[in-house]
Structure 1
Amino acid sequence: MSGLWKSIAVLLGLAAASQGHVYRHDHSFQPDHILRVTAGTFSEACSERYSVLVNGSLPGPELRLREGETSWIRVYNDMTDANTTIHWHGLTAYTAPFSDGTPAASQWPIPPGRFFDYEVRPEIGSAGTYFYHSHVGFQAMTAKGPLIVESCEAPLYEYDEERTLLITDYFSETDAEIVDGLTSNNFTWSGETEAILVNGYSRPATNATGSCELAAISIDPGKTYRLRFIGGTALSFVSLAIESHEVFIIEADGHDTKPLMTDFLQIASGQRYSVLLKAKSEQELQQLDTRQFYIQMTTLARPEVLTNFAVLNYFSHSQLPDLTTVPSPPPLPVAELVDGWLDYELEPAHDNDFPTLDQVTRRIIIDVHQNVSDHTIWLQNGYDWVQSFPKSPYLVDIYTNKLNLDATYHRALTRGNGFDNITRTFPAKIGEVLEIVWQNRGTVDNGGLDAHPFHAHGRHVYDIGAGDGLYDIAANEERLRRTHPIQRDTSVLYRYRKETDVLAPSGWRAWRVRVTNAGVWMYHCHVLQHMVMGMQTVFTFGDREDILAQSGPVDAGYLTYGGSAYGSETKAPVVQHFKN
């Protein structure tokens, strides 16, 4: 239903509540998209696993939204024993404060047997590649799908067609078993990735049994393709290359970039890239005497190296590719990690109002390390954060006046590191320009290190680079003089070595962000295991008055678990339209 006709339907056919922009979404309201979250046994990577799925598949259906237009996405929780949410990874959600999909931060989760109508409005200028996923526990390993924001103008780069490649990984243990192992006093690691999948397909070994196949990405000779790569893995940091092909990067995390040629990609969990690929001509294919080429993917920065494949397929409908043969040995050299890949190289295609050093109002350094005591946890400035820490979502407590943002800001500045240890939040005022430095440090027990893809909710950050050791302001400023930082929502904190001395610095990643969107925003490592183990933080932007001015008063149905904003088979939800 178009925005115009939906508005007419709302005005004429829906029973309005007492507030002007609150409506009952009864049978006459038709959402633009419907997602149903279920749990059950599902076959993937030649195995069966009890998994949480969206619309019964992995990946879930691809959603296409248009920048500047509001879409209503109804998410049903068809599970009987677990909450869920959906987060629109990479999209700002400040125009609809309860639509970011972060339980304990911005909304109450969707209870079993209920549904929630998400109001999603991509901003003008946000056309690009995104994805959606659950933000509860370990559900995001399988409960996810591609989300493409289409431009209201012609794309910057010309191409004939496009293909989406969602990269995921596989663990045979169930979500519950993995979470129990990671959070118990008898710590049990989830194990390493057992398979890398593309669009839900993988054949992990030459001796694999069963009917599972490699993913086939079909293209025609001579055409130019936009390939959208989505890092939807739970753990894996993947190096990806296409046999006998080079590509040009043209987008990173929803932002157009200047074209940059590369023969491989490094894609961490949460990151997205679009590339232009010029397909080979019919004559070139005849000379090479093949019509299929392997897409080779190798895990990075892990104790075990795993290499899996997909197929770039030039066959016609009458000629089918071989999707059951896993090449041995691999057709390409097995990749190794490149620390700082593309840092200071990838540049924006348009002016992006980058804040210079003299505009920075505060610098926040977040020390990241693992601690082993009664159980193994990840800490930021000495504290972990898990979904069970706050008794109710921060945003709800702000609206109900239970969370005093002025007090949290005062405590954070008094401590000197920008962190309020009482609420475990990093508060900021509207108009500030923050420089946020993620500082990697050796594990308390043995100095071990890991790589972390940090993801920012809300407004995208300006990635100002990374390096080894401690962050050096002057040295990094000198490097920035020769480049133009891009905006991202996910970038990697590298480790630079496997281990160091206890708490010794080994790697940093720095961001700048303009504090313009009032609300509650998660900043966290996007590795699901690390999130479950506490590697998450919460930033609050603005004070209560800023948040109320942005959204207006909110209906009480959003402020309690299972409130009237959450519908069921027998009860239509009372929904606030924040952006008409």
Structure 2
Amino acid sequence: MAAHLLLGALMLGSALAISYHKPAWIPLGDSLSPRLGQDVTNGNGVLGTLDAPRLAKFLPDTHASRHRRKGYSPTDIGIGDVPVTGVTRYYNFTITEQNIAPDGVVRSGMVVNGGYPGPTIEANWGDYFEISVVNALPNEGTSIHWHGLIQHETPYMDGVPGIVQCPIAPGGNFTYRFRADLYGTSFYHSHYSAQYTGGIYGAMIIHGPTENAQYDEDIGPVLLNDWYHLPPPQSNNNLINGKMNVSRQRCTPNAGISKFTFQSGKTYRLRLINAGAEGMQKFSIDGHTMTVIANDFVPLKPYQTDVVTLGIGQRSDIIVTATGKAGQSYWMRSDLGLNALSNPAGCTNNDGVSPLALAAIYYEGADTNSVPTTNSTVPESSIQSCMNDPLNMTVPYYSLTPSTTPAMSQNIDITFASNGTNYLFYMNNSTFRADYNDPILLEAKLGQTVFPAEENVISTGNASSVRFVLYNYAFTGAHPMHMHGHNYWVLAEGYGTWDGTVTNAGNPQRRDVQLLPPAQVNADLVVTSPSYIVLQFNADNPGVWPLHCHIAWHVSAGLYVSILENPTAIKSMHIPKPAAWTGKDVPDQIDSGL
């Protein structure tokens, strides 16, 4: 049984690699060294350079005071109100294909405006974003998802093909317009067939109240991601803000690392974002303690830690006090840990050569061309843990209490099995596949309530609150479960069968991605007990909302359900003309589509 599951994981990676025919990997051979005559740094991205700008606490406009109003709980629809600013922030994106080499190894990538990572977009809480996206890819569709935003009254701008829109066709364009209805740290990314793992992503910062934490300077986004020279499942490197050297074991010249500057005595906000494909990140700074002030878009009662765990799609805002002295330098670290395919205790599928990403922090007067010599004091047990911080540590700053008797409650079992050809993921015995030409939201607008089994639609009807108990029976590591359209409460986590106990029942943790731990296995790697998490949300945001694992290969292999919320309200919803796709000569769809 265990051997079959392990083989299945490898087959899954091999099968999904086909989806990477665009972007393609440049054949390696002896090409692990940078190629002369090409830009082999990082696609011209400014993040991670000493020229990277610090962020202001608010963008300038005539209504800045409205963003500073206190007393809001802006983390669920109907709780507090979003400021009306009358301001729109305009951006233009062009998606292209080009060779990039974040770590010195050249491969074909897909980038936004010619840079990797893509440009950082910013707004104040309550502003509108208006973003025009041109698909200049030669033969693939695309779409952009604005990760973590509620999209209240604009579910058709959520950016998921086959769910709320058709893909943007090659040579086509589409303009997204939506409200910055939450504040904090997030990112945007392609939601088309694991495409974002080739480079289509960037930070999204929304400025808002900061009464739960004070700091001197905002360093800005710190994007963390595993990186691939060859097709998955195993990553070959790990990056911080799109940069990292390849291990000396590969005999590759240094490609450069990200660099930051601190001044002794100051406090700094760092916005950590796991924008990777599969790898869980363990973030730390040698010799420094971190204070966590937000998870995803939810401000927290601050707490201190030596290591921050980030599953794919998760974000944590931290404050660091610069306790070093002039002339000193320190390593910033983000570790993928052990390889799960070779060690059952591992959390990620990396090749074991370069799982540790490093960046340098230089204090005033330090030589910024020097290499730090500091060591980590983070216990190995913390690096190897495949769970987020305990729920009782992560208490929202603004208190919200969920209903003890939700109107709807449902168990969802996650399994991993062969369909006779490939190993796929199933949620309640059904694996997902999108129809690019027939988005679910548009069918719901027409009054459809019954959908094909492969679209995995769960209707909440007119229920006012919904609870899902997710059970993981799959021997495939932890699953970062992301829900669109909501910040959900995380009521409980554990192993076996949930007994109804809620952690911090009066004010449970809220976020939009939570790690569902790995199932427990015996010495033969056979699952002996499932893991679980319990999620609950107020169903007051009509739309079709994805609930899925954010590991690219897992959602590509069907680990996904669509939450059809308040179908009656959707029928009366005004939906602008969607992006056009094609009714004939449909390109091959080689995975779930997402």
Q: Which moved more, 1:201-210 or 1:520-529?
A: 201-210
Cross-structure match for 1:396: 442
Q: Please tell me the residue identity of whatever aligns with 2:481.
A: F
How many residues align? The count is 484
Aligned pair partner of 2:556 in 512, 518, 532: 532
Give a deviation string over 1:32-66, Cα, whole Å, max 9, x none. 11111111211122211111111122210111012
Aligned pair partner of 1:143 in 178, 181, 200: 200
Aligned pair partner of 1:69 in 127, 143, 146: 127
- Decide whether aligned partners of structure 1 residues 489 and 59 sit closer, same or farther in structure 2, where only a CA change above 3 A counts: same
Identity level (%): 22
Q: Please tell me the residue identity of whatever aligns with 1:90.
A: G
Cross-structure match for 2:185: 129
Offset of residue 391 of structure 1: 4.8
Aligned pair partner of 1:85 in 118, 143, 156: 143
The question of whether the paired residues in 2 share the 8 Å contact of 1:369 and 1:503 is answered with no
Q: Are residues 1:275 and 2:302 paired?
A: no
Cross-structure match for 1:487: 510
Aligned pair partner of 2:347 in 301, 310, 318: 301
Give matches, 1:464-479, under 5 Å.
464-473=491-500, 476-477=501-502, 479=503
Aligned pair partner of 1:440 in 472, 475, 478: 472
Give matches, 1:564-575, under 5 Å.
none
Determine helix, strand or coil for the equivalent of 2:106. Answer: strand
Aligned pair partner of 1:357 in 388, 404, 407: 404
Cross-structure match for 1:200: 242
The question of whether the paired residues in 1 share the 8 Å contact of 2:279 and 2:349 is answered with no
Determine helix, strand or coil for the equivalent of 2:459. Answer: strand
Q: Are residues 1:171 and 2:233 paired?
A: no
Q: Please tell me the residue identity of whatever aligns with 2:207.
A: E
C-alpha separation between the residues in 2 aligned to 1:270 and 1:154?
A: 22
Q: Please tell me the residue identity of whatever aligns with 1:365.
A: N
Offset of residue 386 of structure 1: 2.4
The question of whether the paired residues in 2 share the 8 Å contact of 1:257 and 1:346 is answered with yes
Structure 1 gaps of 5+ residues are: 5-29, 179-189, 409-419, 443-447, 564-580
Cross-structure match for 2:424: 377
- Decide whether aligned partners of structure 1 residues 292 and 154 sit closer, same or farther in structure 2, where only a CA change above 3 A counts: closer
C-alpha separation between the residues in 1 aligned to 2:299 and 2:156?
A: 28
C-alpha separation between the residues in 2 aligned to 1:559 and 1:296?
A: 38
Give matches, 1:25-424, under 5 Å.
32-123=90-181, 126-141=182-197, 142-151=199-208, 153=209, 155-163=211-219, 164-173=221-230, 178=231, 190-207=232-249, 208-282=251-325, 290-299=328-337, 300-302=346-348, 305=352, 307-316=355-364, 319-322=367-370, 333-334=379-380, 335-337=383-385, 339=387, 341-352=389-400, 354-358=401-405, 360-372=406-418, 373-388=420-435, 391-399=437-445, 401=446, 404-405=448-449, 407=450, 421=453, 423-424=455-456
C-alpha separation between the residues in 2 aligned to 1:279 and 1:147?
A: 25
C-alpha separation between the residues in 1 aligned to 2:455 and 2:169?
A: 25
Q: Please tell me the residue identity of whatever aligns with 2:543.
A: G
Q: Please tell me the residue identity of whatever aligns with 1:404.
A: Q
Cross-structure match for 2:489: 462
Which has the larger Rg? Answer: 1
Q: What is the aligned-residue RMSD (CA, Å)?
A: 2.8
Give a deviation string over 1:260-315, Cα, whole Å, max 9, x none. 11010111100000011001153xx57xxx32334242335136555313234224
The question of whether the paired residues in 1 share the 8 Å contact of 2:150 and 2:485 is answered with yes
Determine helix, strand or coil for the equivalent of 1:47. Answer: coil
C-alpha separation between the residues in 2 aligned to 1:424 and 1:64?
A: 34
C-alpha separation between the residues in 1 aligned to 2:365 and 2:278?
A: 36
C-alpha separation between the residues in 1 aligned to 2:120 and 2:304?
A: 28
Q: Please tell me the residue identity of whatever aligns with 2:466.
A: L
Aligned pair partner of 2:570 in 540, 547, 550: 547
Question: What TM-score results when the alignment is normalised by the length of structure 1?
Answer: 0.78
The question of whether the paired residues in 2 share the 8 Å contact of 1:471 and 1:508 is answered with yes
Offset of residue 167 of structure 1: 0.6
Cross-structure match for 2:70: none
- Decide whether aligned partners of structure 1 residues 439 and 136 sit closer, same or farther in structure 2, where only a CA change above 3 A counts: same
C-alpha separation between the residues in 2 aligned to 1:213 and 1:315?
A: 19
